[in-house]
Each structure stands twice: as structure tokens, then as C-alpha cells.
């Protein structure tokens, strides 16, 4: 289950809203193992009679009996089906500073990349099994954390730490020179002790390594498994816990046939702008993450005004963005815009800045949901991005000022450089969220109307 949780967590980096595993015996056994915690009289908090915040053995039996209700329909259609033969996979490392830049461990070892920091922590890869894998590497290799390396260790929870202590794994890691930190968010989000400093190189078992997320934006962070982190901490450079032979992974890809759709007109509701006109600010970057849009150092500051939030947009991606920006500019990005952390400020700060909308080749589903739920327009137009990338000067810098763009929401078309491009029409539900100012305000207005009608 720990491995499944890690994979499900990482699906957000691919742009998905959630990762779902089948409801099978593995899941059932895990749920049964957690019943004592959910039914304990010492469990903190109060729950009402209809609360769904817990479950018991009877609930699990009923779910298993009706498990077909929790499965996809046999005739379900998928945009893409990927098949991966796990037996052929050679472990990889991601980075630096990009989740999607991946290098095999054999190649990384040939590069002999030195490190100054190693991190085995976070909710993603610091569970009992992860700590055990790392401790087994220490036992097999022996020795101590390499000179010049700081190896930080934090469990996913106090319960994980207690279990790790009970079998000696925790003591093994500390004995090798690991520096213990408390459970909870820390270096992974750029908080507390052990942040990576300017010019340093780190290997981390966390889920994200975006520029500036774990410390200085001029540091270099790679991601690896707990076993790789432990082996690297001992060696002083990024390496595998054992030898792996380089080979290609066995994969298969099946895509659904997509048909081009002509522009579609849509009725514009009162209060929604029928059109928008402004300059293009082109961000020629695929997988631009929310750390790049709104830096982690601001995420937990709840004392920032809308104006202060607007002033720091994109500073972690391109410090020159705010000098180039003029109010009303339309931001255009690449594939999977807004990947990574689900922080809402990455959408609200752009809204506060006066940006009328973001257009991208595609969006992280989490970012798209956050944007509309906060009353901010985003939509996809991959053909526009392809066009801009054919213009050499539009690829000279992280952010480039382009030509004027006109967006016709009623006709679901946009025009730039004398060319027109269709985009998916904005539904009445999407428009309603924008007009209301977001989901919270929309629900509040409906409740008020309902109360008035009683």
C-alpha cells in the first residue's frame, strides 16, 4: 500500500486530478489493519452520527461485497492506455529541479554527481517500508554518511517512527549519521532546518524538486527512491544501492482516436466578458509547476494582501516576468501548466494581478479546477502554442512579449498574428463560476436565495 500511495500521489505530477488503484485484496487487507485506529475511543476529535471520517469491519465487508460498484465499467473509454512491464524497469533519478527530467541510475553513476545533502522525509516516501529499505542499504554497505554530506531523516508520522524504532531501522539510520527531524512538513516545502543552499546538490526521496522549493533557487535537487538516497548519502555522490544493467523498459501505448472539432458558438451569460483583448506574454515552458508560478516561501503566509501576492507571481520561474508584465496581458503557457502542488494561490495571485486568463497547450487538472473554483479563466488551445513556437524570437527567453491577441468567447475562437484558432467553448457552469467570483461565493449566493425563498 505504501508504494501505491506514492504512485497515486505522483499522478498529480502527470497532470491528473487523482490516481486510482483497483479495490482488491491488498486494499482490503490494509483497511482491516487500520480499523483499530478508526474505532479507537482515544481517537481525537468529535464526529456526528452520519460522519464518513471513519469505518469499521462491517463497512469493509459491505464494500467488498459490492466491489463491482467501485470498478470502471467494462465498456469504459480512455484517452490513453499505457502498459509498463515493471520487471524491465531500471530505477531512475529525476532532475535536477524537474520531476519529468529522468536519468537512469547506471547513467547517473557514470556522471558521478557529488551531493552535499540527502533527504529521506515527507509524507510520500518516509513510511515504514521506506525507512526499512534505507536501513537495509546501510546494513548491507556499512560505513557512515560521507564527509561533507548532511543526511536528513523525518518519518511520515509519529506512528511510523515508533514502528521503525521497534525493529531497529530508526537506530540504524541514526547510527550511520542521519540527522533526525520531526514528522510533518519541513525541508520538502522549504521550511525548518536543513534547507538546500545556493550551489548545493541534493538527492531527495520527496515528491517534488522544483527550483527553489527546498531552499535556494540556485541549488540543484534530484529525486530518487529511499534506497537510492541512503546509498548516495553513504557514497557522497548519486548512486544505486546495487548494480543495474541499462536496458529499455517494455511499454505499450494505446490512444483513442481524436477528431478535430470545429469552433462552437456558446451563449454568454450576463456578467461574463464576451471578448478579451491584450498582449501575449508567452511562457515557453512545459510542466510549469505551481512553485514557479507562486513560490513555496509565500504559500504558508496568510498575511499577504492580494496586491502583495500579485507582486510575486512567476518570480521563482522568471524574475524578469513582473518587469515585462502590463495589466491585461494574456499569459500563454505550454503543456501541463500548473503541475505540482495544489496551492490555490497559483491561480488567485494571477487573478489579483489583473491577468484576464491563461491559455495553455494543456493544464494540470488540479490547477484547472482551482482556477475556476476561484473565479479565474483558463482554457486550452494547443494550436496557438504550436504556432508561437514556430516564431524564433518567441523562444529566446523564459517570458516573451508577443503580439496582440483577441479572444472571442462567444465564438470560441482567438486571433493573433492574423491567424484564428478554435478553443473549447466555456460551459454555462464555467461561466457561472467566473461571474460569481468562484465556487465559495456561488454556493453562498445559492444558499441566500434558498433561504429567501423559504
Specify the CATH number for the domain of residue 194.
Answer: 3.30.499.10
Structure confidence by residue, pLDDT tens digits, 54-69: 899 999 999 999 998 8
The verdict on residue 260 lying in a domain is: no
150 alpha carbon, distance to own chain's centre: 26
Co-location of 180 and 288 in the same domain: no
Residue 258 domain-assigned (yes or no): no
Number of domains in the chain: 3
- Domain CATH code at residue 341: 3.20.19.10
User: Both 99 and 170 in a single domain?
Assistant: yes
Shared-domain flag, residues 386 and 430: yes
Residue 247 within a domain = no
- Say yes or no: 161 and 39 in one domain: no
Domain identity same for 305 and 227: no
The last residue of one of the domains, among 209, 235, 261, is 235
| In-domain check, residue 376 | yes
Q: Using the 3D structure, point to which of 86, 102, 127 is the last residue of a domain.
A: 86
pLDDT of res. 178: 97
Q: What is the SS3 assignment for the chain?
A: CHHHHHHHHHHHHHCCCCCCCCCCHHHHHHHHHHHHHHHCCCCCCCCCCCCCCCCCHHHHHHHHHCHHHHCCCCCCCCCEEEEEEHHHCCCEEECCCCCCCEEEHHHHHHHCCECCEEEECCCCCCCHHHHHHHHHHHHHHCCCCCCCCEEEECCCCHHHHHHHHHCCHHHHHHHCCCEECCCCCCHHHCCCCCCECCCCEEEECCCCCCCCCCECCCCEEEECCHHHHHHHHHHCECCCCCCCCCCCCEEEEEECCCCCCCCCCCCCCCCCCCEEEEEEEEECCCCCEHHHHCCHHHHCCCCCCHHHHHHCCCCCCCCCHHHHCCCCCEEEECCCECECCCCCHHHHHHHHHCCCEEEECCECHHHHHHHHHCCCEEEECHHHHHHHCCCHHHHCCCEEEEEEEEEECCCCEEEECCEEEECCCCCHHHHHHHHHCCHHHHHHHHHHHHHHHC
**Predicted local confidence at residue 154, as pLDDT:** 95
User: Is 124 part of a structural domain of the chain?
Assistant: yes
With respect to residue 251, please indicate whether it lies within any of the assigned structural domains. no
Residues 215 and 349 in one domain: no
Do 51 and 66 share a domain, yes or no?
A: yes
Residue numbers in the chain where pLDDT is lower than 50? none
Q: 185, 203, 235 — which closes off a domain? A: 235
Asked if residue 107 and residue 20 are part of one domain, the reply reads no
Q: Which domain holds residue 318?
A: 275-448
Are 33 and 95 in the same domain? no
Statement to judge: residues 208 and 300 lie in one domain:
no
Residue-level pLDDT at 261: 67
pTM equals 0.79
Residues 293 and 408 in one domain: yes
Please indicate, yes or no, if residue 354 is contained in any of the structural domains: yes
| Residue 241 within any structural domain of the chain | no
Residues 349 and 226 in one domain: no
Amino acid at each position: 500500500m505504501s508504494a501505491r500511495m506514492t504512485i497515486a500521489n505522483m499522478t498529480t505530477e502527470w497532470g491528473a486530478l487523482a490516481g486510482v488503484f483497483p479495490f482488491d485484496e491488498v486494499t482490503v487487507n490494509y483497511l482491516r489493519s487500520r480499523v483499530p485506529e478508526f474505532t479507537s475511543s482515544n481517537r481525537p476529535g468529535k464526529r456526528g452520527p452520519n460522519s464518513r471520517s471513519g469505518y469499521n469491519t462491517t463497512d469493509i465487508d459491505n464494500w467488498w461485497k459490492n466491489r463491482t460498484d467501485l470498478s470502471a465499467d467494462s465498456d469504459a473509454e480512455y484517452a490513453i492506455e499505457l502498459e509498463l512491464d515493471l520487471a524491465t524497469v531500471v530505477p531512475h533519478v529525476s532532475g535536477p529541479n524537474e520531476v519529468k527530467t529522468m536519468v537512469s541510475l547506471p547513467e547517473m553513476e557514470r556522471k558521478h554527481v557529488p551531493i552535499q545533502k540527502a533527504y529521506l522525509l515527507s509524507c510520500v516516501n518516509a513510511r515504514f517500508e521506506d525507512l526499512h529499505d534505507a536501513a537495509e542499504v546501510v546494513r548491507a554497505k556499512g560505513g557512515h554518511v560521507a564527509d561533507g554530506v548532511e543526511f536528513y531523516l523525518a518519518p511520515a508520522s509519529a506512528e511510523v517512527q515508533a514502528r521503525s524504532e521497534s525493529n531497529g531501522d530508526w537506530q540504524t539510520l541514526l547510527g550511520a549519521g542521519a540527522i533526525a527531524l520531526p514528522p510533518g512538513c519541513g525541508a520538502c516545502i522549504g521550511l525548518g532546518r536543513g534547507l538546500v543552499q545556493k550551489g548545493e546538490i541534493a538527492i531527495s526521496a520527496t515528491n517534488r524538486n522544483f527550483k527553489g522549493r527546498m531552499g535556494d533557487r540556485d541549488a540543484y535537487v534530484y529525486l530518487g527512491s529511499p534506497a537510492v538516497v541512503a546509498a548516495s548519502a553513504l557514497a557522497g555522490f548519486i548512486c544505486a544501492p546495487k548494480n543495474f544493467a541499462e536496458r529499455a523498459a517494455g511499454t505499450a501505448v494505446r490512444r483513442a482516436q481524436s477528431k478535430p472539432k470545429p469552433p462552437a458558438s456558446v451563449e454568454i451569460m450576463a456578467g461574463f466578458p464576451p471578448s478579451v483583448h491584450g498582449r501575449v506574454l508567452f511562457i515557453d515552458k512545459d510542466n510549469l509547476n505551481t512553485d514557479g508560478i507562486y513560490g513555496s516561501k509565500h504559500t504558508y503566509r496568510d498575511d499577504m494582501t492580494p496586491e502583495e501576492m500579485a507582486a510575486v507571481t512567476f518570480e521563482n520561474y522568471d524574475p524578469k516576468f513582473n518587469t515585462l508584465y502590463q495589466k491585461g496581458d494574456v499569459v500563454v503557457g505550454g503543456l501541463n501548466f500548473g503541475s505540482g502542488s495544489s496551492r490555490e494561490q497559483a491561480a488567485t495571485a494571477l487573478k489579483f494581478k489583473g491577468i484576464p486568463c491563461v491559455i495553455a497547450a494543456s493544464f494540470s487538472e488540479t490547477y484547472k479546477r482551482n482556477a475556476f473554483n476561484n473565479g479565474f479563466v483558463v482554457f486550452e488551445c494547443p494550436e496557438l502554442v504550436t504556432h508561437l513556437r514556430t516564431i524564433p524570437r518567441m523562444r529566446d527567453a523564459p517570458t516573451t512579449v508577443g503580439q496582440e491577441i483577441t479572444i472571442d468567447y462567444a465564438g470560441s475562437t482567438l486571433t493573433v498574428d492574423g491567424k484564428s484558432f478554435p478553443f473549447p467553448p466555456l460551459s454555462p457552469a464555467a461561466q457561472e463560476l467566473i461571474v460569481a467570483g468562484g465556487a465559495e461565493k456561488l454556493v453562498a449566493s445559492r444558499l441566500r436565495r434558498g433561504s429567501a425563498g423559504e
